[in-house]
Every structure is written in C-alpha cells, then in structure tokens.
Amino acid sequence: MAQKEAIHLDLGKNSYNIYIAQGEIDQLGLKLKKMSFKGQVAVITNPKIEKLYGNRVRKGLRQSGYRPLVIQIPAGERYKTLKQIGRIYDVLVANHFERNDLLIALGGGVIGDMAGFTAATFLRGIPFVQCPTTVVAQVDASIGGKTGVDHPDGKNLIGAFHQPRFVSTDPAVLRTLPKREYLSGLAEVVKYGVIYDERFFSYLEQNSRAIRNLDLEKVSYCIERSSAIKAEIVQSDERESGLRKILNYGHTIGHAVETLTGYRKVKHGEAVAMGMVAASRLSVRLGLLQKAALKRQVALLEAFGLPSELPDLDSGDILKVMAGDKKVVGGEIYFVLPKKIGSVEIMKVDKKILRGFLKALPTDI
C-alpha cells in the first residue's frame, strides 16, 4: 500500500499525525510497533463494527506482536453514558491496565468520544488511538481531542480534552455503512465548505452525485480536505477559546434536536444539516447572509439526501435545551452564523429574537 503523506497536527507535546489511505485499518499494529509501543492494547468497539472489522484489526495487531483485548459496548448515541464508561473501567481494572497501556477507538463518533474519555480519565490519563469508521468520525470527531459522554439534559455535557497518539483513517470502510449513515455524515463535510473554504464548497456542488454514490477517489479527497481544515483550526485553538468555535456551526440547534428526539429518530449529521439551515435562515433574518447563499446550501444538502427543515418540536423546548448547552456563556446563547459561503461570524443572539425566529420556522427561502 502506497502511504500518502500524513496530515500533521502541530500541538507541541500533543502533536500527532492523521493517516488517510485505503487499507489503513490493517496498519494499526505496524504503526504502534514503529513508535516502539510495548504495552497492553484494548480495542473499544461495538458489536456491529466488531463483526465487520474486528478480525482485521486483531490480525494486524497480532502480527506486530500485540495481544489485543476487545471491549464491546452497545451501538448508539443513547449508550454514550457514564454507566457504559464504568463498564469499560471495570474491564481495564480486571485486566490490570497501567498508565503506559493503550486504547484503540474502533468505530464512529460515539466510540471515539467514549474511548477517548475513558483514556483521559483512567489512571488520570492513558494513551489512545483513533480508528474512525464513519464519515462524521473521519472528518470531525476523531480529530482534535474532544472526548465525552452525554447527560439526559444535553449532549456532551461531560468530557475532557485528550489528544490521540495518531488517527488512522481508511476511506474504504465507508462502503459498509448503511446508506443513511453515510449520507448523514456528509453534513459535516458541507460544514467545512460553509465555514472555511468556498472553493471546497463548490467542489462538493460540482461532484455531489459522485460523492453521494461513494466514488472512493472523490470521497477520499473530501475526507482529506475536511481533515486538513479541522487540523488547521485546532492547531490555532486547541481548547476552543476562539477560532475553533466555528466548528460548532449547525450544532447549537442540531444538538437540541438530538436531545429532544432521544438520540434515536434523527442521526447526528441530519440534526447538523437542520441546524445549519436554521442558522443560515437566522443569518438572513439578521441581515448577515444573502438568500442566494442560503439556497446554495439547502440545494447541496438536499443533493446529499439530507433534511433542511426541523422536525415538529416545540420552539420553547428547543430554546430551553439550547440555554443549557455547554457552549452557553454567561447565560447567553451564541450562534455560528455565515456571512457568505466560506466565512462565518460568532454572535450572541437575544433569546427574544430566537424565540420569535423558532416559532416562525420553517420559513420560505
């Protein structure tokens, strides 16, 4: 396998590489061996991913001299809880894991967040590696060191920053995703175009059919460009004190939708798509964004089979959940609002304005 040049994320002592290539999932053992890792290895995954890729990952690790322990947790956002983290702790303690041992997160964003949070908190911090298997995880959740679990009143309210040793991304594994799961993840790809790179957004528009149909060459480019954008943003703001906040575009309302639907009815990417369109409509209403840019965004999301309107939820409930979001500062709700494709602004939005806006949705473009 010809190895492409890695994307390097320069964070001083927390620096690491993001490797993106077909067949990466088989290279975990070799990469650990190359970095002279000699400890125990535990693979955190769920039954679905274990069935698809567990044998390949174990084989690669064993060929490099490791004896991996596999810890399975149930699939789904509703299991992203402290109770499940406790179960992982129990297995690690029973197997005498030490500070120099390592976890591998094999799965989507939920697995990555939970394995990362476990690594951040077990013995006050042990190393871990990300091996993402969904679009959302490959372009977003696996990069940047955000880890955490959900609380009944909100998403990711409990967490820690803990950077992985490396990220090993294999675009070919996306072929085994259910179609809805794959398309859902494309919302995060669209996000990067809106917040940072108009040329990339245009590329997505021009190649939307091929990307929707999982043309691996074009999808690989989307993953590479999205990962590079996120790496650039995280390098300049590791702890989300400034620029990194723009990555929350679409997530303020999107997380509220996920919370109010019990993390069951709406996929994360679908909620983000709804949230992006709502934020853009709010931006149009506030006079920051031209309607033409909103229309382009809606058209691209719909070309990827993604929703553009919120589900039938009470506007007061949405506002209440947003008010409890971890991104709220001083009781004020902040939004990432586009000014044009490729440029956004972070703004405090008055709750009275938000209440009226949410009651009026959906509105004509």
CB-CB contact of 88 with 114 (8 Å): yes
Paired residues of 42 in beta bridges: 69, 103
Q: How many helices and strands in the chain, by DSSP H and E? A: 15, 11
Q: What are phi and psi of 195, to 5 degrees?
A: -85, -20
Q: Which residues make Cβ contacts (< 8 Å) with residue 355, sequence separation at least 6?
A: 315, 316, 319
Give how far Cα 163 sits from Cα of 120, 130, 301, Å: 9, 10, 31
Which strand (E) or helix (H) includes residue 222?
helix 216-236
234-238 LR contacts (CB < 8 Å, sep 24+): 234/9, 234/11, 234/143, 234/144, 234/145, 235/9, 235/10, 235/11, 238/11, 238/14, 238/144, 238/145, 238/161
Preceding omega of 178 cis (within 30 degrees of 0): no
* Residue numbers annotated as active site: 124, 146, 188, 230, 240, 244, 248, 251, 255, 268
Paired residues of 161 in beta bridges: 146
Q: Which residues make Cβ contacts (< 8 Å) with residue 10, sequence separation at least 6?
A: 235
CB-CB contact of 156 with 150 (8 Å): yes
* Helix, strand, or coil (residue 50): helix
